[in-house]
A = this chain, B = another copy of it.
């Protein structure tokens, strides 16, 4: 499908994720030696002027305003979906049907019902990639954490503890955004933040969440409508969601996702306590992984603060010498590197690349169960 060692990318969406992905497609070939190079072929956004500005800035060669037009183009190999959550399913399914490789931002969709046809479309596709951009899996420290678990360094896992806190909704005067409207976003921090930590928990531990109990709350019920002075609109998603979880192996988990986490800007944190060891990570210190080795001599045990910038750490060798830290944007560059690697290697690698739609649907099952449990006031099975 690709031409002369190139992969032609069309990106749909032009806001925060549009910037992050533009940067990633730009930077991947600079840092990662991959046989395939991405071409920033088409940028698609409904606001043409804004899209053209972004395209100009990042070097996208063409601009479209209708995503359907993008899929008709035969100069596009990969479709990268960065739109709000309500605009994931339809273009993703259509793109797969059109024979394109697909990357989709998280959460996969607004709910499981919307995810299922996406998963089916992915299964029916003829060898194209279906990938979901849970970017935190590509933080070197979390990728290392996953490795340590695979090496059996934790033994049986007893606890998984995650929070994702920011202060994004604490200002009552900030206007209503799409992320606060259920029809567009599906949910609030559940899909926005909890999705990330549920995915991280599954990724690092290798365990599925079997059942959940939950509490959700909308602390501020109405918000100003941008551009309409004096008018307010209803907030139709939760401001915070907390979740208890029982994992497939009997481990107990705790998850908290809130936009009212005073003191934190982007505290995406996970801790896992196991029989033989434990791990901790916080995104605001993303270059560090804390590891507790309970098999070390008792008097030397403690949390080891690993600066994950060594050549033998995942992804780190592509960037700078040890101690020369990387940032948020590099998680997306690492995604692109893995995507290009898989596309270059062919069908088996493409099929194996994770997280894919089926994977992300498992996350969505947990998120849906959480909202259901918050309403039913009892434990609910996730179906995972």
Question: Which A residues are closer than 8 A to B by beta carbons?
Answer: 16, 20, 22-23, 26-27, 29-30, 57-58, 144, 154, 158-159, 161, 163, 165-167, 170, 213-215, 217, 219, 240, 242-244, 246, 250, 252, 254, 256, 258, 260-267, 271, 273-278, 280, 283-287, 291-292, 294, 298-307, 309-310, 312-313, 319-330, 377-379
Contact = CB atoms under 8 A, between A and B. Distances in A.
Contacts of A292: 262-263
23 contacts: A154-B262, A158-B260, A159-B240, A165-B273, A167-B294, A170-B275, A215-B244, A219-B250, A261-B273, A262-B277, A263-B273, A263-B278, A265-B322, A266-B323, A286-B325, A299-B310, A299-B312, A300-B306, A301-B306, A305-B305, A319-B329, A327-B327, A377-B379
A215 B217 contact: no
A215 B324 contact: no
Could you say how many copies of this chain the assembly holds? 4
B302 A16 contact: no
Nearest to A287: B284
A300 B291 contact: yes
Contacts of A271: 263
B266 A324 contact: yes
Contacts of A298: 310, 312
Contact of A304 (B26, B260, B261, B300): B300
A199 to B, nearest CB: 18
Contacts of A286: 325
A20 B154 CA distance: 35
Given A263-B292, A307-B302, A244 B242 contact: yes
A318 to B, nearest CB: 11
Contacts of A313: 299
A233 to B, nearest CB: 21
Given A158-B240, A215-B246, A300-B304, A328 B326 contact: yes
A330 B330 CA distance: 12
A327 B324 CA distance: 7
Contact of A161 (B252, B256, B322): B256
Contacts of A287: 284, 327
Given A158-B260, A258-B159, A302-B307, A321 B252 contact: no
A329 B323 contact: no
A146 to B, nearest CB: 13
Contacts of A252: 215, 217, 240, 242, 258
Contact of A329 (B294, B320, B378): B320
A166 B303 CA distance: 14
Contact of A325 (B215, B284, B304): B284
A165 B242 CA distance: 19
B240 A262 contact: no
Nearest to A309: B265
B26 A158 contact: no
